[in-house]
Amino acid sequence: MTQADLQMLQSFVEDDPVISSEGGASLLHALTREFHCNTWFVLQDDHEIVMTRRGTRPGGCLADAMFSLLFNRVLTRRGSFRENGWAPKIPWSGKRDLVECSDFENAPLQVDAQDIIYADDLATCIVTSEAASLPRAVAHIAGEALDSLAEFGLSANLGPRKTAVLLCPAGVGAKSVREQVFFRNKGKLMVLRENAVTLDSVSSYKHLGSCLTHNSSMLAEIRAKMGVAKAAFHEGQRLIFCSGQICLRRRTSLFRTHVLAGLLTGAGAWPLLCESSWKIFEQGIYNMYRRLLRVPRQASQKISRWRILSYLDMPSPQDLVHTERLRFLGQLVRSGPDAVGPHGPVLDNWDSWTSLIRQHPGQWKGYIKRAGTWHLNQAKAEADFFGCVRACWQPVPPRAVAVAASEHCCVPCKIAFADFQSWAAHAAKAHKYRLVRHLQMFPRCCQAVAHDVEGLLPPLIAPDGPVQSHGLAGYRMPDFPDLPPPEDDFCPALLAALHEAEVRSDSEVFALVQGVIEPFPLLRQTVRTWAQQTTDPQRRAWGEDVLLCMQVDLLCDRVSNAARVDDEDAAMCFTPMIEGCSLNPMAPPLPSLVVGRVPEAKVNGYRPLSSPTWIRKGFETEECDLGCFACVVVDFPLPCAACSPFWRAMS
């Protein structure tokens, strides 16, 4: 260590001791000094005591400071690669606001983002002007870093999860680079030094608890975080989170501390999640929320999400992510580097908010908690409103599916299905049906395999290669003279059974078809193909008779479930069933009342035959007796301004 390093350590000891900042007494200073004088330690599987004469003992309070100084010298020895144009430069306008610097070339400032260091974890960012020079630049910098570590007695842990390369070639020549690195070299990158090493070029890497991917996808990150949360939840599910001996408020508090803390680590820096990522995140949180409620099996399982949030006093997944983003924004404003500039829409009065975050961080945290409480109360109001609506009205029954409108059915069970997915779920559960999906290339290939054409090579079974590798263009399929022209899909096993069987009637043909579990359109096409291929006129007639009988409405006597509703219908959580009231015939002819500005031509169908005329009144009219009218029609006007429901007030 140099003299400057020793002076820095001395300043750490004298100016920034932990005990002095907490008002420690002289006795504590003496004890601390004694603890760090003539220290010793014992190595694993060794009974000899080792005295510390140089450096620090493992776990000492000065070990981190000394390693930081040492690692800084390693990076200084490695040097910078800005002169080569490999260091990323982030354009910056010079102001810490939520405005993205749009003019990259003429930006006032450019911030270098070369090395990202935390303790002994180093992430080096490299960019090149051409995709072809990217592997050489990475290998050169990796060699410089490994040589610098070796000069100071340090070594890097090599491996796909330790020291690896996340290579993302783009632009002109990127395809050839991916072919060379990931296809020909199998994802290995050679680093030339005195003792040559090979680095793994991976598609994803877990760095400081976050999963980085080559395509910036958040699926791997969300799945990893959700896996950590589920593991923590399962660990204490029986004794803590789902225990009936602990009150609900206490269980939710422990859930926040032990489960959500691990799930939301780094969530403030997440970008906008895609639909698949958000679905995994949202469903995972609500599934754990439902388990916290401990809903009995005999009770109704139809509990809305608003009611779940109301019972638990827990924020929704949207509120959890928004809260973490606001906290992360506060950290960026107070102590974030210039290279980490938040991007997004401009906020009004940004300067006042910035001063509040910097000067009053506690007040900023209070605002975040208050906003979370407000949104929680909004969910409670929405749950109470729809609970009242469900108690007052019956829901609209699900739209039934007519048997004649169904295209899929299970012939042995005589059940009609609305779509292929519902039939496949029933067939897999009741008949052990499995869809063959290993032939996913070309229809002609599948047709050649189905006809058992000679000369086909066996399938190549090999381990999967790197994710970023791409398949090379193969040879075209040869022209087989015996292969028939492209035809509709059918079941080869059933077709062969029909040709080989000695059937004596159409009932035996239908029995063969009934014993095969395949999609109903596929069965019909197979029977049609058999009837066209057979040369026996009697067999052809039997096939046509079976096709006439193979109708969903003739074979099935019930429907599995209602048809799937549209996305717009699914968004409506509850639709009340409103039925018209039946009126007894009235002896005296009474007039009808219309309230509003609706034309009489549109409401003439509501007026009873005994009513001679309409009487129009406005909403400003005083109360009137409705007993002297045959019917009443009220036309509510549109609001004067755009508004939302009262249970969704503006924040």
What are the backbone dihedrals phi and psi of residue 171, each rounded to the nearest 5 degrees, phi first?
A: 95, -160
- Position 452 scores a pLDDT of 73
AA letter at 32: T
Nearest to 313 by CA among 371, 268, 253: 253
Nearest to 115 by CA among 84, 88, 83: 88
Q: Where are the beta strands (DSSP E) in 55-203?
A: 89-92, 109-112, 115-118, 121-124, 164-165, 188-191, 197-201
pLDDT tens-digit map of 115-171 = 888 877 888 888 888 888 888 888 888 888 888 888 887 888 888 888 888 888 888
Sign of the torsion angle spanned by Cα atoms 411, 417, 420, 422 = negative
- What is the rounded average pLDDT for all residues in the chain? 79
- Position 70 scores a pLDDT of 78
Greatest mean pLDDT among 67-81, 127-141, 456-470, 598-612 lies in 127-141
Grade residue 288 by pLDDT with cuts at 50, 70 and 90. very high
**pTM to 2 decimals?**
0.67
- Position 447 scores a pLDDT of 72
pLDDT at position 502 over 50: yes
- Position 572 scores a pLDDT of 47
- Position 227 scores a pLDDT of 92
- Position 551 scores a pLDDT of 87
- Position 92 scores a pLDDT of 78
Name the strand (E) or helix (H) holding 138.
helix 134-151
Averaged pLDDT, 105-121: 79
pLDDT at position 99 over 70: yes
pLDDT at position 341 over 80: no
d(CA 203, CA 168): 9
Lowest mean pLDDT among 67-76, 211-220, 531-540: 67-76
Higher pLDDT, 42 or 15: 42
d(CA 129, CA 86): 8
